[in-house]
Structure 1
Amino acid sequence: MTGEIAEATTPSAGSGVTRPVPHFELGLSENPFPPLPSVLAALYEQMARANRYPEFLPQRLPRIIADRVGVDPEQVAVGSGATGVAMQIMQAVLRSGETMVFANPTFDGYPIMADMLGVEAVAVPLDHGGRQDLCAMGEAVDDRTGLVVVCRPHNPTGTLVSAADLEVFLSSIPPQVVVILDEAYVEFIDAADAVDVLGLIRRYPNMLVLRTFSKAFGLAGLRIGYVFGGRELVARVRRRQLPFGMSCAAVAAVTASYAAEDELRDRVARITAERELLWVALRQNGVHVPRSHANFLYLNGSRIAPALQCAGIVAKPYADGSARIAVGDPAAGRAVLRALQAI
């Protein structure tokens, strides 16, 4: 996300000399910071043994994560980012002819993977505030439904369903229907807004909590995701584990990241502070932006995506002209404001 220099140039006023045009990649909700020095050191050390295979099926990584989360290792499955784990879940729980329910728009991976697996997707529109309409999603669940996805925070709007509404929703879902609680951006949520996921998986054995090291931890390129829940359900997901599918670098990176928790927390605080500053500035300039609890903002409006594109800013565009932008880089935020002031 940090500003890069594009090949295109523009003339410098009065000089005839060209200067590079700033180019910002804000379309993938990436962390603007590189891995911490201690994490990089652990990775470099691991690369010296890259000639060796990783574990046939991952055992160390689930133990490390389980110890941090507060569950038993048998309650954790890992995979290639949250996307890879979501695919494992879909393959494990969906039977022929079953459907999956999610909000629209949502994380692109869900409709893409549903199409790959030949699963019928039931997409439920967001409400007028950009929130997942849990009542409508519950009503969309029928005898054919095998899987439901709730994002908290929601991707792409960054909005947050309340703990109380989530509990009511979960209690309304038949026990044979699996619910993914997608918490890819959970580290950006204020502590006061957190939910007791351990209590939820005890009360609702059909619920799985999906998380990733790609966002707050800044390890998107290493593709490390995980899910935790009840033993029986997680065991079904684990049976879809690809042999040798998790790099040795994953264990080193996660171990070092957990050890550097205070530094990572400071980075998250810097990202969320920049998010709030940009949110206020955009709203003051007349841009409709829902309150976000993630590391991105959803800019609602038919002219937003084209304006950002013209300014050399790569955003995640949507069919109605709206766009999602990653936050955290002040220079990128200023470029977004300049681009949208023109409209």
Structure 2
Amino acid sequence: MRWWLLGAGLGLLVVLTVPDVQAGRRPRDQEGGSRRAKRKRDGRGSGRTREGRSRPLKIRLVPGPVLPEIPGQNQGHSGVLNFFRNVHEQQSSYSIIPGKPDRCVYRGLTMFDLAVWSPTPCVTCLCAEGRVVCDEISCPTMHCLSTATPAGRCCPVCMDPDPELSLDLSGDSPVPSDPSKAVVPLTQEEIQRILWREEEEHREEEERLKKRDEARKKRRKERKEQEEKQRKLVEEKRREEEEALRLQVQKEEEEWRRQIEEAEERRRQEEERRLQEEEERREREREEREKERKIEEERRRQEREKLLEEEEQQKEAEEEEEEVWMSPGPPGEGL
């Protein structure tokens, strides 16, 4: 039965966090404030963690109203949830801050989003998106001679009656706490001081995160500048290597072009010399042919002259012979 009541209470808590619910409040007493301050000193205060993530809602077990026992049920259950709006106490006032829907106003004090506080020892409230949601924990009846409330707990637990054991080891006061004893609530100045301290720590945490982000951005900027400088050095070295390679290639091309021009010049000179020699050879051959032609003409002329002279001599000889035959001989030559 207690498990069923616990499940029903948790279900109602989930349902009431969605709509706009106005939950009641009980006056904050000194025990709740001292536990709140103790959690703050231990580094377990409400708000956000150093990483910026919201902490889950923790329900503290402190002395509170007692539920009637149910025969035949297990009495070892730690407690049952009961919503604070069912308690006939003074209702707390809260409202949404204009322009800041993620904050709440509780009794004139500003609460940050997801802030958790305890108006009473067994009541825990949460500021969620401008709405305040509270729940109350009911403690079961303890069947033991001696009970005590451990540190950080709401409900009492059974203690060993051995007188040799001391409560000082647990960190609690040796004087047993009486849940029915009236306690003095914290004053408005004390609550304001605690909230101011939380806000100051929150501001310091934001400043620390801001400085860390600035340092990270500075390191990133320096790393980018170093990378840019390294890139420029590499680019400059690459340009120098490319310029040296270009000059070397240009020098090799000029040398190769000069060699080609020299080879062309030598070939041109050889061609000119060959043509000149060929022309000289042709001129010599022409002169030799002209000389031979003249010699041949002179020989032919001499031969013609000689032939004419021989013909002339032969003709003269024939004429002389004819003259001899035609002339008369001496007397008595015919006898």
TM-score category (smaller protein):
under 0.3
Higher helix share: 2
**Length-normalised TM-score, structure 1:** 0.20
Q: Which has the higher contact order (CA 8 A, sep 6+)?
A: 1
TM-score by length of 2: 0.21
Per residue, is there more strand in 1 or in 2?
A: 1
